[in-house]
Structure formats: structure tokens, C-alpha cells
Amino acid sequence: MPKLFCLKKGKAHAAVIAANFIFGINFSTVQYITKKFIGPFGLNVIRVGVSTLLLWLLWSLSSTKAAIQKKHIGRFVLCAITGIVINQALFIKGLSMTMSIHASLLILVTPIFITGLAAWLGTEPLTYIIK
């Protein structure tokens, strides 16, 4: 049994490393594509369209179907537009106008900035973890 647990843990670690690798090359790849082949908004349409088709394909092949209530469809559409379409459009457009390292540094500093802002507003306390 412990061997199976280690195998599952190894798969999880491999998935995290793969996701971080893809996220890391995203900056350079998007910038290269937008400068050489297609504009930023065209790339966004392709990314969102392919992702939507893959999601629908996986959902249709899934054995368990999630029941979506009709009253929630509007909220799903709003979340999709603001969380994916607008976010990715602005990300790709901004990345096409700057250097990859600047975008990477902004992504790195964003959680630090948000933590400082939350502490300043008083919604989250700053704590130190010492072990």
C-alpha cells in the first residue's frame, strides 16, 4: 500500500511541475506568437475557442454529468466572460506590448501587493509563521 501512495504522490508532483513549466513558457510563447504570426486578440479568440471545445468534448465524454440549474447559467456566462475572456485578452494584449520579464515580474509581485493592500485595509492580518 505505501508504494501505491508514493506513486500517486509522484503523479501529483509531476502534474504540478508540468503545470508550472507550461505557465513559465507561456510568457515567451505568447509574445513570440503575437509578434510573428497573429495579433493578441486573434490569439485570445483561438485560445478561448479551443478551450471551450475541449471542455465540451470532455464533458460530453464524462460518465458523470453535472446538473446545471437554469438560474445559474447567467452567472456562469458572466464568470466566463470576466474570468477568462476579458482577463486573457488584457493579459495577451499587455504581454504583446512589453517584454516577457516585465510581465513575469508583475505576476510575481501581484500576490505580495494584494497581501499588503488587504493588510492596509484591515481585512487580513499580517502574521509570521516561525517553526
pLDDT digits (tens, 9 = 90+) for 68-90: 788 888 888 898 888 878 888 88
Confidence band, pLDDT 50/70/90 cuts, at residue 111: confident
Instruction: Round the average pLDDT of the chain to a whole number and report it.
Output: 84
- Asked if 43 and 90 sit in the same domain, the reply is yes
pLDDT category at 34 given cuts 50, 70, 90 is confident
- Chain-centre distance of CA 39, in angstroms? 20
Q: Examine the domain organization and report whether 114 and 82 are in the same domain.
A: no
Q: Tell me how far CA of residue 45 lies from CA of 19, 81, 92, 112, in angstroms.
A: 22, 12, 11, 31
- As for how many domains the chain has, the answer is 2
Q: Are residues 36 and 83 in the same domain?
A: yes
**Higher pLDDT, residue 127 or 38:** 38
* 54 and 39 assigned to the same domain: yes
Cell 515580474, located at residue: 105
93 and 103 co-located in one domain? no
Confidence of residue 4 (pLDDT cuts 50, 70, 90): low
- Is there a single domain that holds both residue 93 and residue 110? no
pLDDT at 117 over 70: yes
Do residues 116 and 85 both lie within one domain? Answer: no
Domain that holds residue 27: 2-61+68-97
Neighbours of 105 (CB within 10 A): 11
Q: Is the domain of 17 the same as that of 80?
A: yes
pLDDT of 53 higher than 90: yes
According to the model, what pLDDT value does residue 5 have? Answer: 53
Residue 3 has pLDDT above 70, yes or no: no
**Does the structure show a pLDDT above 90 at 99?**
no
Q: Residue 29: which of 86, 91, 108, 84 has the closest Cα?
A: 91
Q: Tell whether 107 and 89 lie within a shared domain.
A: no
Q: Are residues 8 and 41 located together in one domain of the fold?
A: yes
Shared domain for 20 and 34, answered yes or no, is yes
Q: Are residues 51 and 10 in the same domain?
A: yes
Instruction: Evaluate whether 103 touches 95 at the Cβ level (below 8 Å).
Output: yes
